[in-house]
Amino acid sequence: MVALATFMEVLDTTIANVALRYISGGLAVGPDEAAWVVTSYLVANAITLTASSFLAKRYGRKAFFMWSVALFTVSSILCGFAWSLESLLLFRVLQGLGGGGMAPLAQSILADSFPPEKRGQAFALYGVAIVVAPVIGPTLGGWLSDNASWHWCFLINGPVGVIALGLMYWLIEDSAAAKKERRALVRKGIRFDIVGFVLVALFLGSLEVILDEGQRKDWFGTSTLMNVSGVLMAVSFVAMIPWLLTKKNPAVDLRLIGNRQFGSCFLVMMFTGAILIATTQFIPQITQEYYGYTATLSGLVLGPGGIVTVVMMFLTGRVSAYVQPKWLIAAGMTIVALGMVDLTRLDGSTTFSFFAWSRVYIGIGLPMVFLSITSASYEGIRKDQTDQASALINVARNVGGSMGVSLAQNILAYRSQFHQSRLVESVNPTAPAYQETMRQATQYFSEHGYAGVEAQSQATAWIGSVLSTQVAYWAYIDVFWVLGLVATCAVPLALSLKSVKLGGGAPAGGH
């Protein structure tokens, strides 16, 4: 039931991606303006993550979880009925604020609700929501946009949210320890670290804006938004470090990241989020732009990998009772790296099955990584740090995903320019090969109704189009090489992790 709510929330990080051109047309705005539909959600989501730990302790996990789901559900329906871009962005911010607390709460509820011997399977079900939802998002969003309307990308959350709320009301109860901790907070008069929260919110919000909009705004060249965001990010970062490290009850416990075990898991989760979200966005993108796939078909490319991911989650949940997390993470990231290398073989003749199989390889590796990180990150964490650990791991996934997409976009742009310049240098109109290609293309267009100069003009345009497509292939290949390198870098980090007590994961809150 907590996995259902989390699935719904994570789904919305990607479901709108393939619908952006429909939103752009429906609301009569430009593509750059429509992109804020994704950015506004990620910013609000990241901000709420930092406050989720204290709010869950102060008001109870059940109450905070239900309020989060209720806000998410209502704002989702409002998004579906949005009448302008401004109203849609407002409702997406509310949706992100509601969704931000759902993933870490679900994770910490599972960590505290199951004994170590059953925790692996519980995290496997939760992992299905986290890893499969971004895969299903483009498929579902593409199908709804092609066959119904972009509005339904948001309206479908309505019935799911109502069901999740009902199940939570009847099935979730705060533990006796949680109630005792809540009474202690009230008795001691511990207040929310509003200064720390504002500093972290400014840092994460500015960082998300820079990562998501930097490429479109030409970074810090002429964009006022980028320059203001950069200053806010730098100032808030410099101020928040000493504040959070010296505060007795900080909004975010940065000392957890200083723990070698948790810090390594935090970094590996960032790498995992980067690869998961970047490939989820760029594989449908290349199939639509250069292979003529519809939004639905581009989403279906990810489908086989999603099925494999579900199976691997439960298999990994069982295997985790016998194999140390560090070995599973290292093996999983090696498989993912090899999957990225396989993607570098793409060319003009690449088929649907090629892209589908590449996603299958990722679907084999990522569950091994994700589930093992979730278990290993709780090793050595006290019971009262469970919510903070859950929030930080989800911040790592969220920010890592944005970093991955930003990194991929920049590599794609800069390498496209590089390959374009190199290819143009090598194209010589006086070369026999070029002249023969030009002759054959002109003859082809002459036979299809074009005469004289017009046929030659069409041939020139066709050659230019072929060259541009080849440049794009090479640029995407460079993107996949870099993502493979990111996966490879996670392997030594995984091997640095400490061995944990086997039997379903490290005991969350173990002393």
Q: What is the pLDDT of residue 111?
A: 64
Domain segments of the chain as ranges: 1-192, 196-250, 252-500
Residue 180, Cα to own-chain centre: how many angstroms?
Answer: 36
Backbone angles phi, psi at 215, to 5 degrees: -65, -40
* CA separation for the pair 511, 505 (Å, rounded): 15
Of these ranges, 89-93, 253-257, 293-297, 386-390, the one predicted with the greatest mean pLDDT is 89-93
pLDDT category at 425 given cuts 50, 70, 90 is confident
DSSP class of residue 191?
A: P
pLDDT category at 505 given cuts 50, 70, 90 is very low
Q: What CA–CA distances, in Å, run from 250 to 109, 177, 194, 385, 477?
A: 21, 21, 9, 12, 43
- 189 has a pLDDT exceeding 80: no
Residue 307, Cα to own-chain centre: how many angstroms?
Answer: 18
* CA separation for the pair 295, 298 (Å, rounded): 5
Q: What CA–CA distances, in Å, run from 47 to 33, 232, 384?
A: 22, 15, 21
Structure-token match 């692996």, residue found: 120
pLDDT category at 506 given cuts 50, 70, 90 is very low
Helix, strand or coil for residue 211? helix
The CATH H-level superfamily of 252-500 is MFS general substrate transporter like domains (1.20.1250.20)
Q: How confident is the prediction for the chain on average, in pLDDT?
A: 81
DSSP string, 301-364: TTHHHHHHHHHHHHHHHHHTTTS-HHHHHHHHHHHHHHHHHHHTT--TT--HHHHHHHHHHHHH
Asked if domains 1-192 and 252-500 share a fold, the reply is: yes
Dihedral of CA 310/316/321/325: which sign?
A: negative
pLDDT digits (tens, 9 = 90+) for 125-180: 666 666 677 767 777 887 888 888 888 888 988 888 888 888 877 876 766 666 66
Do residues 267 and 329 make contact, with C-beta atoms less than 8 angstroms apart? no
CATH code for the domain defined by 1-192: 1.20.1250.20
* CA separation for the pair 438, 436 (Å, rounded): 5
Do residues 360 and 279 make contact, with C-beta atoms less than 8 angstroms apart? no
Specify the pTM: 0.77
343-364 residues labelled b (16+ CB within 10 A) or e (exposed)? bbebeeebeeeebbbbbbbbbb
